[in-house]
Structure 1
Amino acid sequence: MLSHEFNHGIKPEVSTSESIAWLSQRAWVEIDLGALAENVKQLRAYISSQTQLMAIVKADAYGHGAVAVAQTVLSAGADWLGVATVPEGIQLRENGITAPILVLGAAQTREQIQAIASWDLQPTLCSPKQALVFAETLEQGGFTDKLPVHIKLDTGMSRLGIDWQQAGEFVQLITSLPKLEIASVYSHLATADSLDPTIMQLQQQRFEQAIAQLDNLGLKVPKLHLANSAGTLADKSLHYDMVRPGLAIYGYYPAPHFQGRIHLQPVLGVKARITHIKEIQGGTGVSYGYSFIAPQDMRIAVVGIGYADGVPRNLSNKLQVIFQGQLLPQIGTITMDQMMIDISHVPTIQVGDVVTLLGRDRHTEITAEDWATQLGTISWEILCGFKHRLPRVTVNY
């Protein structure tokens, strides 16, 4: 049985996604919570029982809906949640999430620091200046408890983090600050999805050398973590005390060579209604710029979704949709709110029927990876691109 829930709380009494589609009128994103839970269980079974799992739910859970995703992954076996910003963490707390939450981004302002402490979030620290501002703000704010903080080392990503060679000095500073306590030391892998492990191994060596610095200074760290989705699947020696999968939770492999190590199922689908049908003569141009001209008389349908919803305009005349298991070509330039498809060979299709842009219909499937390949980008970008005027509808197959 399926259950459906819009993010704003409406729970229609329905049994199929098609029967609730009228609520969204034109198009929606469908989130399969059953697939999400199974992906977490697959990851949980792949790692040691002694290794914790932090589910990355930043960017509204990669466009899947952070609250519903957080609730599901925690029930399925995740131990921690990772977000990018303070407001993302607050959103989860406001919706009753009590699990530990790591803010992966570098909070800097006093307002952000006060919010982190007030909402029981755990920050990432990347520099001595940032650590001192945290300590001063907490002291001045009258916070009595120590704030758990996570030390980010730059081992080769060249993004956030203090240079790994300064790990000992940095940790010594933080341990001297009365309002802070170290919860973990971590780093981030830049090339774990590559077939060539050289850089990944170099980063791990640097991470190990940094930890050796701490050991030599008698500084004990409660938790170490390094592996993203690719690192988790690439090498179990990267698992340490915790792994931080993101993309894999949502059903995609970071690279093709990871397929088969665990079984992942895409969680997100995109569906839209046919809003209009017409017949055009051969030689007729379709949509802006006439990038498609009908080679013969055709029957075409307008679908109520466009680039303002997150369908890339550069997929114009390349995209396909699925109707009852059959692939139908999109034609003409994708517009802001609509697109056209060729239905010349599907006489039964009607206004109000639903087509699948991403997801499975019968034995046919289109994935975010398919779009990414056509566009020369990555599946992460596709998943994060669907705008919030598309309602999120949760199902549990």
Structure 2
Amino acid sequence: MNPPNSRLPLRCWAEIDLAALERNLRLIRASLPAHMRYVAVVKADAYGHGLPQTAARLMHAGADLFAVATLAEAATVRELGPGWPVLLLSPLLPEEDRYLAEYDLTATVSSIEEVDRFEAAGRVAGRVISVHLKIDTGMGRLGVWHEQTASVYEHLARAPHLRLAGVFTHFAAPEEAAFTSEQRRRFLAALAACQGIPLDSIFVHADNSAGIETMSSATPFNAVRIGLLQFGILPHPNSLLSEVHTEPVFSFLTRVGLVKSLPAGYTISYGRTYTLGRPTRIAILCAGYGDGIPRAVSNRAQVLIRGTRCPVLGRVTMDQTIVDITDAGDVRCGDEAVIVGRQDQAEISIAEFSTWADTIPWETLCSITKRVPRVYRTVLGT
């Protein structure tokens, strides 16, 4: 049964184009060498796109492995289908260990202590648990320090209820070519120090869509983690995949709740941070920071109304945002306003909006709150 509010008109919403998501996956895969496997990163509710809907479409499109952050996210993916490996990128709490076997999940191993814990969980469950060994090559977060990889791998190889399904690292600054090259060198050296590691039969991944500069079959890398790019948001410009022309999947829209005129010299919103320099028609939008428009974009951002860029005036408030519609024509109550996305021939990208907010697209997407319904478009088309 649908909740009562599902029948109410939308005041603000996010549109998720699942057809574009599928086209993006196919474009990305076509740009990679044939042996390269696709790791779909869908943590944080698939970057705010909706985990169940997004993962289901990526399954249909042919993702090889799903990477998540939490046990709850992993369980959600597993409930969608039994056939896909699901990798937990974050550390597990001890009381969560038993669910690795119950949900057939893959854990990240960063220490001998975790090897012992996961081995115990597999022994109690009477089954083998898959793990990926993470190597810290310079991120300073998860992973065994690269110079100590061999000792942890040897301990892991002796654990009868664990199966090594992958090895990986995480680049700290993909835009810094020299340091990324050093991290790659450390990773390869760590693997070389592990006697008997079955690189031909496991996932070997270091790159995400922002970090790939070259793809050579001469290296052991056989998988790439794809996050933002599958949602149509371009990675670092030096990335190999920056040449893949993916489509935006996410749009953020609201509606005009009120139109009024104010005289020159009038001040706008809390703190009176903006003073009108001319007689101005304003629109009060039905979304604010309670929906995911951060206060940081106050007096900086623009929205699209009737295909015209309309500046945000004054501070964004919890439930409303005020914009200048003087030059936007005959704007009326109920008109759509695009916060992120396209309208007519105009577009405001996630990257542009994030710049106004002094943040990054990852945070922008994750900050669109649960008060904002997600509306899914599913037709594949051409």
| Cα distance between partner residues in 1 of 2:251 and 2:39 | 24
The one of 4, 25, 38 aligned to 1:40: 25
* SS of structure 1 residue aligned to 2:97: helix
1:83 aligned to 2:65? Answer: no
Task: Tell me if structure 2 keeps the 8 A contact 1:102–1:124.
Answer: yes
| Cα distance between partner residues in 2 of 1:366 and 1:313 | 18
**Cross-structure match for 2:110:** 126
Query: How much does 1:235 deviate?
Result: 1.7
Task: Tell me if structure 2 keeps the 8 A contact 1:300–1:341.
Answer: yes
Q: Deviation per CA, 1:353-393: give whole Å up to 9, x if none.
A: 11101001111100111022233322111111111110011
1:175 aligned to 2:154? Answer: no
| Cα distance between partner residues in 1 of 2:220 and 2:338 | 37
**Cross-structure match for 2:363:** 381
Query: How much does 1:231 deviate?
Result: 2.4
**Cross-structure match for 1:213:** 193
Deviates more, 1:58-67 or 1:35-44: 35-44
In structure 2, do the counterparts of structure 1 residues 9 and 173 end up closer, same or farther at CA, with 3 Å as the change threshold? farther
Structure 2 unmatched runs, 5+: none
In structure 2, do the counterparts of structure 1 residues 210 and 60 end up closer, same or farther at CA, with 3 Å as the change threshold? same
Task: Tell me if structure 2 keeps the 8 A contact 1:304–1:338.
Answer: yes
The one of 91, 103, 121 aligned to 1:106: 91
* SS of structure 2 residue aligned to 1:181: strand
Task: Tell me if structure 2 keeps the 8 A contact 1:47–1:239.
Answer: no
Q: Which has the higher contact order (CA 8 A, sep 6+)?
A: 1
* SS of structure 2 residue aligned to 1:124: strand
| Cα distance between partner residues in 1 of 2:108 and 2:268 | 51
Structure 1 unmatched runs, 5+: 1-7, 11-19
Task: Tell me if structure 1 keeps the 8 A contact 2:287–2:320.
Answer: yes
Task: Tell me if structure 2 keeps the 8 A contact 1:93–1:119.
Answer: yes
**Cross-structure match for 1:191:** 173
Percent identical residues: 34
| Cα distance between partner residues in 2 of 1:159 and 1:380 | 18
Query: How much does 1:135 deviate?
Result: 1.6
- Structure-1-length-normalised TM-score: 0.89
- Structure-2-length-normalised TM-score: 0.92
Task: Tell me if structure 2 keeps the 8 A contact 1:128–1:170.
Answer: yes
Query: How much does 1:239 deviate?
Result: 7.7
| Cα distance between partner residues in 2 of 1:82 and 1:260 | 22
Residues matched between the structures, number: 372
Amino acid at match of 2:112: P
The one of 190, 214, 217 aligned to 1:235: 214
Query: How much does 1:126 deviate?
Result: 0.5
Task: Tell me if structure 1 keeps the 8 A contact 2:300–2:312.
Answer: yes
1:55 aligned to 2:35? Answer: no
In structure 2, do the counterparts of structure 1 residues 98 and 257 end up closer, same or farther at CA, with 3 Å as the change threshold? same
Query: How much does 1:268 deviate?
Result: 0.8
* SS of structure 1 residue aligned to 2:173: coil
Q: Deviation per CA, 1:14-35: give whole Å up to 9, x if none.
A: xxxxxx9x84531011111122
**Cross-structure match for 1:17:** none
* SS of structure 1 residue aligned to 2:125: coil
**Cross-structure match for 1:15:** none
The one of 244, 247, 252 aligned to 2:233: 252
* SS of structure 2 residue aligned to 1:183: strand
